[in-house]
Structure 1
Amino acid sequence: MGYLNKKLKIPTPTFFIFAIILIAYFAPRETTVSYNESEGKPWRYGLVTAPMDFPIYKPEAQLEQERDSILKEYIPYYSLDKFRSERAITLFTNDAQAAEIPEGYIQYVQRKMHEIYQAGLIAATDYDKIEESNLQQLYLINGDNVASIRNINSFYTSKLAYEKLINDLPENLQLYVIQSLNLNNYLYDNIILDSELSKKAKDELLMKVPFAEGNVLAGQKIIDRGEIVTPKTVHILNSLQKITEQKEGSTTRKNWMVVGDIILITALIMAFMTYLIFFRPREYYDRRNVVFMLMMVTALCVLTGLFVKLGFNVYIIPYAMATVMVRTFIDSRTAMLTHLITAIICSLMVPFPQEFLLLQIPVGFMCIFSLKDLSERSQLIKSSFFILLTYTSLYIGVTLALKGDIKQIDPLMFLYFAINFMFVMFAYLLVYMCEKVFGFISGVSMIELSNINKPLLQQLSEVAPGTFQHSMQVSNLAAAVATRIGANAPLVRTGALYHDIGKMINPAYFTENQIPGMNPHIGLSYKESARIIINHVPEGIKIARKYNLPQQIIDFIATHHGTGKVKYFYNSYKNEHADEAVSEADFSYPGPNPFTKETAILMMADTVEAASRSLKEYTEESISQLVNRLIDTQMHDGLLRNAPITFRDIEIAKNIFKEKLMTIYHSRIAYPELSKEAEKNIEEAEEKASM
């Protein structure tokens, strides 16, 4: 996903266009409504009256049955091809004479072939087909175009003809000679199907089957809301739909419906894009977030389209899962809008959009309310139960409101909701997958990372105990500010714990880890000391990647000094080399500067906490001056320029730092010593008590 942001530079609207195309492609193309699914149930819609006179078409199954019944009377037409028989006999005679076959054999075969062709030789497939028919007859057209009925048993097939040639062989002729003549090569079908006449005869029979079983007059009531849908009503509704499609053009109507779907899908996706541009610009310009959110919407819409096409119940699909994911990684408002856009688009695909929306919209609200922050696994399980309860209660309410009969509640729907519930609980696995694929970090992961018993933090506390204590203090300061100004407090708290892990490489070179009288910088040049201090940032990044820390945590390590300078060594070097041009790069951190509200908070908290240790006295005035001077310097140096933090946020942060530092470094009460007289009284009391 970082590749999308930094390398490809794909325009963000491209992702929205691609989502529209993908959803529209998988949207169901079937424009007819299956009224058979409503048979035996109350009609959900309003009054339906006939807009015109139209026939009531018979069901297709009934028509097929009646057609099959009348086709039992069907007799095909065949014609006699005399030229085939003459050509076959001539060919045989020429071949036999060329092979010097005795004349007696030739005359025998010629006589029998005349007899066979006179009776008629038909293809074996046609013979079997007619023999299996009800009448076992065909019409044979002679040379005068007169058709006469013939029984199929009066004809020969090539097999029957060959058997006749062999079985009728006189005793004076040798069988092996007849067999050597390959008589099958001269047995041509001379009874040929007349396709045109046969089709005409079949069509005339089918015309006798009426396609309708009554008529409906214009203005006649067909059905009203709440009435039970009977089989006859289904026939009438299907007939009306068929007439409408014939009148308007089925293909044209279908094409216009597809155009309408594309317009609506485009409008909804563009509305989502507009919301991000105006209210969530940070998410809009982060291609990773855009791809993630559109993937959630598109996946559910595509699944809905496939389920509708395959005839599966759409309530199995865990629509709340997308809401959970967007809520976990983005925010509640965006999650709710994502759910609404998804539900409305999917309602264009399902058979009963009114019921679908009445169930899905409240489920989205319940998901948001029950899952304020995914910081524990149990929260997702509780939220899943609330979603299941919402689905169940809403379904009962919608069924009673639309049907008015408790018997119309389908128990199978509760099974679908239970399957949905199971899928939503598996969202925890999807959260983990999205963290790895998109580089996100969830509340659960932050809680796990902030556990000081984690191996990396344990190692930090052992190798650099002063740095560990400093990180703990910075974590508390930064989290307090983040909570007040609406930033991500768990994220900044976790980032603060890891921001200085690079100091584990050379812990003794940092003040908080030094013991009195020990300073390894003595004897080093200012540039070398600065290099060692600066190096804790890239070293920290290396350690973080080695331990597979999320990118958001690595961002805190990289930005907590920004492009600022190691002021102590920089100023010391300048003081000693006043006439020399100083290379600021030798004393500057690699950056980048903070680019989020959270990383900006950490930079301020880190600087303030570290510098506060050097104060000679901790008064309200000294702490206030220190905090103001440090943060104002950071602003003057442009270190906070790229962060989306306001002057008001910075003032709030200053006040919180002052309050917290005063609490940490408040003057202790001097406990009074016991006077000699008091000590003597205590000793006497102890002696008496021991007696």
Structure 2
Amino acid sequence: MKELINKYYQNHSLIYKVLLFLITTAVIVYFFPKGGKFKYNLQKGKPWQYENLYAPFDFSIQKSPEELNAEKEEIEKSKQLFFLVKEEVKAEVIESYNKKVDFILKDSLALKMNKARLKNFGEKFINNVYKVGFLNKADNSKIQSNQLITLRLGNEASDILSDNLFTTDELVSSIQQYFTNSSYESLENNFTSLFFEILEPNVFYDEELTNRALEEELKNRSFTKGFVAENERIISKGDMVDASKYEILDSLKKEYDTQLWSKSSYNWIVVGYTILVALVLVMLFLFLKKYRLEIFHNNTKLTFILFNIVLFVFLVTIVQKYFVGYLYVVPIIILPIVLKAFFDARLGLFTHVLTVLLLGFIVPNSFEFVFLQIIAGMVTILTVSELHRRANLFVSILKITLIYTVAYLAFSIIQNGSEQKIQWVYFGMFALNGVLSFLSLFLILIYEKSFGLVSDVSLLELSDTNSTLLRELNEKAPGTFQHSMQVANLAEASANEIGANAMLVRAGALYHDIGKMLNPMYFTENQTTSVSPHHDLSPTDSAKIIRDHVIKGIEMAKKNGLPDRLIDFIRTHHGTNTIYYFYKMQSELTPDQVNIEDFKYPGPIPFSKETAILMMCDSCEAASKSLKTPTALLIDELVEKVINTQMSQGQFMNSDITFKEIQTIKKVIKKKLHNIYHLRIEYPE
């Protein structure tokens, strides 16, 4: 048991990586749709690059969403309107007529007429109205002129033209026409007033029945518009995938996916997805192991990268499942922005590409989606920099949004053959995508607190010389503080020249010698007299004090909560160089007993461009103080000698820096040191 526990502690980092790999793979596969994938990539407007394609089974050609929407609008526009006829209204109106018609019969003009016939004449008009129907005024706006509508009386239904119905607006003219040339024309006004008082609508819009009929019609409409028989040739190799062929191929794809899902084994589909996802993650692990070894060994950073991949797979899965029309609103470019802020552009782009490839299994029109997102990711990596300057991020996101728009326009024109079918709503989605991309600043802040990482925004804060640690360094070791400031200026200029992270290297340079504040007088830049405390120590003890400023600096940095990326500069700024002055002194005292390992810094050697820049600038600036007459020639020779010695000792083997970049750094250091030590004119006394 004890042996098993020991093996666990010895390999716990590897075990964690394996578990992290397995969990990430399982989570991503869980998010994937559990169906098969059509093996052909459909691209409208492009030649068919595959072999001749024959229909593997009978299938119908499905209508496009645009056709279905147009058909739906047409059905809704020409839907059959149903109206309910209330039979009891007529009886109520007749009853009311019989009660109130006596007022007209008592009129002086009516006294001369036959009352029974006059009463029947008026009742006949009422019968004429309700024989056709009297339309409710509120429902008049729902019908068009001369539209065929359906009247429902009980269980019977009959069709009628809308213009045949009586309405309030037409009632006066109908009464006039009825009484004109009749024996009772003189009583028209009397009857008009009476009819307007007693006549009530008996035809009302039946919204429930109309909607039910509309739903039934929409339900029964055909979603297909053609048929392809088994073994019928669909397309030949080299044929252009035009709109009609694309519809057939897309219909085959949908039918194929449906049949594959019903016939294939669920387990085999999951196995296939697992293999593909595992391959993608293996590529990421291999990249980190080969080119970013420090990140690969850091389980926190590895977890952070995989967490972001899973996060965006999850977001796209949710949107694709419930809001597929808004797929391009998901701000996937946040991924390369965040990874570049914490690591570097190369890792950000590589991870972004792998993530987009995974998303290609989820989204429809995968080729278009993958192309747009990869292009957007490249633009993100090339344009987003110095996130602490908000204007830079704003301009970069504008460029990314423009790239999205231009690429979509190109795809739309290729697929549709013209600009007329461009869906302008996508431009709004791209704009919203850009707005949501500003959440990257919020995410960076959260990630800094959650994973202990550092971004350019934090580096800007740490570079403030009024911070507690730097102010303490200035008070206890002012010479070291001034040396750090000079090195920071040299390192920042060098980093800018070769395209390294200037803000990171400046912050690292400001803190690289904080360990000296514990014994400041043992370092020449802090000595105010010619008397050195090293005179009372042996060379070995002196070398130990000098060497320990690295260890003490690391301890002090951790105690004050400095991020690991800055501690790396403290750890590597001397690499494994030898403290040559005291080694030489000890060699002269005890030539046979000296151990060179006692005079070497513990290392490690620099493992990035930034840490390599600091080593060069630190050594050259410190060495330049030893020049009694710092002429341009002596400075050039000194810089060449110092950096060439470091190269010969293999200090830059792991720093991913080229000879050309080293030569550029030499030129920058020489130029800056020339400016520092240039001769001034002598002022007259």
TM-score by length of 1: 0.59
> What's 1:503 paired with?
516
> What's 1:74 paired with?
none
> What's 1:663 paired with?
675
Distance (Å, rounded) in 2 between the aligned partners of 1:279 and 1:335: 13
Distance (Å, rounded) in 1 between the aligned partners of 2:629 and 2:254: 92
Identity fraction in percent? 40
- Tell me, yes or no, if the aligned pair for 2:35 and 2:261 is still in contact at 8 Å: no
Counterparts in 2 of 1:597 and 1:240: CA distance versus 1, 3 Å: closer
Distance (Å, rounded) in 2 between the aligned partners of 1:371 and 1:643: 24
Partner SS, residue 308 of structure 1: helix
Q: What letter matches 2:436 in structure 1?
A: F
Instruction: Give CA deviations for 1:545-581 in whole Å, capped at 9, x if unaligned.
Output: 2221111211111222234444434433443x33672
Distance (Å, rounded) in 2 between the aligned partners of 1:238 and 1:395: 25
- Tell me, yes or no, if the aligned pair for 2:488 and 2:509 is still in contact at 8 Å: yes
In structure 1, runs of 5+ residues without a counterpart are 34-41, 58-209, 674-691
- Tell me, yes or no, if the aligned pair for 1:28 and 1:309 is still in contact at 8 Å: no
> What's 1:559 paired with?
572
Q: What letter matches 1:322 in structure 2?
A: L
> What's 2:321 paired with?
309
Counterparts in 2 of 1:392 and 1:642: CA distance versus 1, 3 Å: closer
Distance (Å, rounded) in 2 between the aligned partners of 1:588 and 1:383: 46
- The answer to whether residue 627 in structure 2 is matched with residue 622 in structure 1 is no
> What's 2:34 paired with?
29
Counterparts in 2 of 1:388 and 1:519: CA distance versus 1, 3 Å: same
2:13 corresponds to which of 8, 17, 36: 8
Partner SS, residue 333 of structure 2: helix
Distance (Å, rounded) in 1 between the aligned partners of 2:385 and 2:525: 39
> What's 1:326 paired with?
339
In structure 2, runs of 5+ residues without a counterpart are 1-7, 39-43, 63-219, 235-240
- Tell me, yes or no, if the aligned pair for 2:480 and 2:525 is still in contact at 8 Å: yes
Q: How does 1:293-304 map onto structure 2 within 5 Å?
A: 293-304=305-316
> What's 2:131 paired with?
none
Distance (Å, rounded) in 2 between the aligned partners of 1:629 and 1:431: 42
2:619 corresponds to which of 607, 618, 625: 607
Measured on the aligned residues, the alpha-carbon RMSD in Å equals 5.0
Per-residue deviation, 1:498: 0.9
Per-residue deviation, 1:428: 1.2
> What's 1:429 paired with?
442
Instruction: Give CA deviations for 1:6-45 in whole Å, capped at 9, x if unaligned.
Output: 9513597886666444322320125699xxxxxxxx9999
Counterparts in 2 of 1:351 and 1:650: CA distance versus 1, 3 Å: closer
1:534 corresponds to which of 547, 553, 562: 547
1:452 corresponds to which of 453, 465, 478: 465
TM-score by length of 2: 0.60
Counterparts in 2 of 1:419 and 1:454: CA distance versus 1, 3 Å: same
Q: How does 1:134-145 map onto structure 2 within 5 Å?
A: none
Distance (Å, rounded) in 2 between the aligned partners of 1:432 and 1:259: 38
Number of corresponding residues = 503
Partner SS, residue 351 of structure 1: coil
Counterparts in 2 of 1:587 and 1:6: CA distance versus 1, 3 Å: farther
1:371 corresponds to which of 384, 392, 395: 384
Instruction: Give CA deviations for 1:274-298 in whole Å, capped at 9, x if unaligned.
Output: 7667777776676666554444333
Distance (Å, rounded) in 2 between the aligned partners of 1:213 and 1:672: 99
Instruction: Give CA deviations for 1:52-97 in whole Å, capped at 9, x if unaligned.
Output: 767999xxxxxxxxxxxxxxxxxxxxxxxxxxxxxxxxxxxxxxxx
Distance (Å, rounded) in 1 between the aligned partners of 2:276 and 2:343: 26
> What's 1:514 paired with?
527
Distance (Å, rounded) in 1 between the aligned partners of 2:269 and 2:636: 68
Counterparts in 2 of 1:321 and 1:496: CA distance versus 1, 3 Å: same
Distance (Å, rounded) in 1 between the aligned partners of 2:233 and 2:663: 73
Per-residue deviation, 1:320: 0.9
> What's 1:475 paired with?
488
Distance (Å, rounded) in 1 between the aligned partners of 2:631 and 2:253: 90
Distance (Å, rounded) in 2 between the aligned partners of 1:629 and 1:653: 14
Q: What letter matches 2:491 in structure 1?
A: A
Q: What letter matches 2:358 in structure 1?
A: I
Counterparts in 2 of 1:55 and 1:492: CA distance versus 1, 3 Å: closer
Counterparts in 2 of 1:352 and 1:217: CA distance versus 1, 3 Å: closer
Decide which structure has the larger Cα Rg and report it: 1
Q: What letter matches 1:589 in structure 2?
A: Y
Per-residue deviation, 1:500: 1.0
- Tell me, yes or no, if the aligned pair for 1:605 and 1:657 is still in contact at 8 Å: yes
Distance (Å, rounded) in 1 between the aligned partners of 2:314 and 2:33: 10
> What's 1:105 paired with?
none
Q: What letter matches 1:24 in structure 2?
A: V
Per-residue deviation, 1:512: 1.2
Per-residue deviation, 1:322: 0.9
Partner SS, residue 666 of structure 1: coil
Distance (Å, rounded) in 1 between the aligned partners of 2:555 and 2:648: 30
